[in-house]
Amino acid sequence: MDRQQLLKKLSASKLVLDIPEQGVQDLIDRKIGHITEFKKGETIINQGSCWNALSALLEGRVNVTRIFENGDEVLIKVLKGGQIVGGEVVRNPGMKSRFCYKAETPVTAYSIESAVFSDQSFFETETGVQILKNLVSILEHASTEQYRHLDILSSPSIKGKLLAFLKYESGRQRSNEFNLPFTKEKLARYLCVNRSALSREMSKLEDEGYFKYKGKHFIMLK
């Protein structure tokens, strides 16, 4: 990736939201961070391991999962271009990850070592202050997403979980007609249910008039 491509993709990241192009150029020129690449299927951060870098995703998608002692794996979310991996290192460098981050596709990221955020002088610049504000916003959003996930999983039935998820998704996309953000297989992992059981419940709810769907496309009717 050449410098111009890096500038364009990094400028689209939530990490540098509201920072002028010159400020983003300065980050690159001062080598505040560096490009990191991961192959499809490669683990970026292992659950339980420490990490010491914040990474702004420039290309690709990352699956965030929680693995339990019995081997069950629950999908927490899917990160894509513009989003952040490891924002927590700013407040707690060297922390152990509660989740596993794995490249769903080839991934290119712009990574900044946690040591940068330990240097007070970095936050004395306009760019540093804005990055800190952006990270606070990113972490608040991540916390909200986690509470939403817990709320969805609190229903004891597949029907309850699915309808709660669809209600949230409809609200997020501000329309009764929308596309799911991931496949049915991933949806089953996100809802912590069996895929076949989920398919049966979806067909049943469609017959009962709750929604119409084809593939990832849904139209809510109730």
pLDDT of residue 91: 67
pLDDT of residue 3: 87
Based on its alpha-carbon atoms, the radius of gyration of the chain, rounded to whole angstroms, reads 19
Give the count of beta carbons closer than 10 Å to the beta carbon of residue 57.
24
Q: Are residues 186 and 209 in the same domain?
A: yes
Helix/strand/coil for 163: helix
pLDDT of residue 118: 81
**Adjacency order of strands within the sheet including 73-80:** 43-45, 100-103, 61-67, 73-80
* Segments of the chain with pLDDT less than 70: 90-91
What is the span of the domain harbouring residue 162? 157-220
Q: Are residues 142 and 194 in the same domain?
A: no
Q: Are residues 127 and 186 in the same domain?
A: no
DSSP letter string, 100-160: EEEESS-EEEEEEETHHHH-GGGGGSHHHHHHHHHHHHHHHHHHHHHHHHHHHHTSSSHHH
Which among 109, 124, 152 is the end of a domain? Answer: 152
| 50: its two tokens | 């420490």
Contact criterion met (CB below 8 Å) for 98 and 75? no
Number of domains the chain contains: 2
Q: Are residues 82 and 108 in the same domain?
A: yes
Give the count of beta carbons closer than 10 Å to the beta carbon of residue 131.
26
Q: Are residues 105 and 181 in the same domain?
A: no
DSSP structure class, residue 169: H
Q: Are residues 52 and 114 in the same domain?
A: yes
pLDDT digits (tens, 9 = 90+) for 27-79: 899 899 999 999 999 999 999 888 888 899 999 999 999 988 888 889 999 99
Q: Are residues 142 and 188 in the same domain?
A: no
Contact criterion met (CB below 8 Å) for 15 and 133? no
Alpha-carbon gap, residue 167 to 218, rounded angstroms: 11
Helix/strand/coil for 207: helix
Picking from 25, 1, 29, the residue whose alpha carbon sits closest to that of residue 11 is 25
Q: Are residues 140 and 32 in the same domain?
A: yes
Helix/strand/coil for 200: helix
Alpha-carbon gap, residue 54 to 69, rounded angstroms: 27
Which among 108, 124, 152 is the end of a domain? Answer: 152
- The pTM for the full model equals 0.82
Q: Are residues 185 and 101 in the same domain?
A: no
Q: Are residues 28 and 131 in the same domain?
A: yes
Give the count of beta carbons closer than 10 Å to the beta carbon of residue 48.
11
| 83: its two tokens | 């989003």
